[in-house]
Structure 1
Amino acid sequence: MGVRRWIEGWPVYRQWTRHDPTGHGAAAQSRVSANLTPRTAGADKVVKSICPYCAVGCGQNVYVQNGAVTQIEGDPDSPVSRGRLCPKGSASLQLTTGSAREHHVLYRRPHGTKWERLDLDTAMDMIAERTIASRAKGWQWEVDGARTRRTLGFASLGGATLDNEENYLIKKLFTALGAMQIENQARV
Structure 2
Amino acid sequence: MARFSPLDWPVLRQVRSGDLLGRGPAVTSAHTRAMTPRTATADRVVQSVCPFCAVGCGQKVYVSGERVVQIEGDPDSPISRGRLCPKGASSEQLVNNPLRQTKIRYRAPHATEWQDLDRDTAIDMIADRFVEARRNAWQDCDSKGRILRRTMGIASLGGATLDNEENYVIKKLFTAAGAIQIENQARI
- Equivalences for residues 147-186 of structure 1 within 5 A: 147-186=147-186
* Partner residue, 1:128: 127
**How far is 1:81 from its partner?**
6.4
Closer, same or farther: CA 179–54 of 1 in aligned 2, 3 Å: same
Report the 3-state secondary structure (helix = DSSP H, G, I; strand = E; otherwise coil) of the residue aligned with 1:71. Answer: strand
TM normalised by structure 1 equals: 0.84
Deviations 1:20-66 (A, max 9, x none): 34433212211222122222212110112333344554443221112
**How far is 1:170 from its partner?**
1.7
Distance 1:68 1:82 in 2: 22
**How far is 1:166 from its partner?**
2.9
**How far is 1:107 from its partner?**
0.1
Q: Is the 8 A contact 1:105 1:123 kept in 2?
A: yes
**How far is 1:140 from its partner?**
0.5
Which amino acid is the alignment partner of residue 174 of structure 2? F
Listed as ranges, the gaps of 5+ residues in structure 1 are none
Report the 3-state secondary structure (helix = DSSP H, G, I; strand = E; otherwise coil) of the residue aligned with 2:63. Answer: strand
Q: Say if 2:136 is the partner of 1:137.
A: yes
Distance 1:137 1:186 in 2: 30
Report the 3-state secondary structure (helix = DSSP H, G, I; strand = E; otherwise coil) of the residue aligned with 1:180. Answer: strand
Higher relative CO (CA 8 A, sep ≥ 6), structure 1 or 2? 2
* Partner residue, 1:119: 118
* Partner residue, 2:30: 31
Report the 3-state secondary structure (helix = DSSP H, G, I; strand = E; otherwise coil) of the residue aligned with 1:14. Answer: helix
* Partner residue, 1:110: 109
- Equivalences for residues 52-71 of structure 1 within 5 A: 52-71=51-70
Distance 2:88 2:102 in 1: 21
Distance 1:97 1:70 in 2: 9
Listed as ranges, the gaps of 5+ residues in structure 2 are none
Distance 1:22 1:56 in 2: 40
Q: Is the 8 A contact 1:77 1:83 kept in 2?
A: no
Report the 3-state secondary structure (helix = DSSP H, G, I; strand = E; otherwise coil) of the residue aligned with 1:152. Answer: strand
Which amino acid is the alignment partner of residue 184 of structure 2? N
**How far is 1:161 from its partner?**
3.1
Closer, same or farther: CA 165–95 of 1 in aligned 2, 3 Å: closer
Which amino acid is the alignment partner of residue 153 of structure 2? G
Which amino acid is the alignment partner of residue 120 of structure 1? R
Distance 1:126 1:73 in 2: 38
**How far is 1:73 from its partner?**
3.3
Which amino acid is the alignment partner of residue 41 of structure 2? G
Closer, same or farther: CA 21–170 of 1 in aligned 2, 3 Å: farther
Report the 3-state secondary structure (helix = DSSP H, G, I; strand = E; otherwise coil) of the residue aligned with 1:63. Answer: strand
Q: CA RMSD in A?
A: 2.4
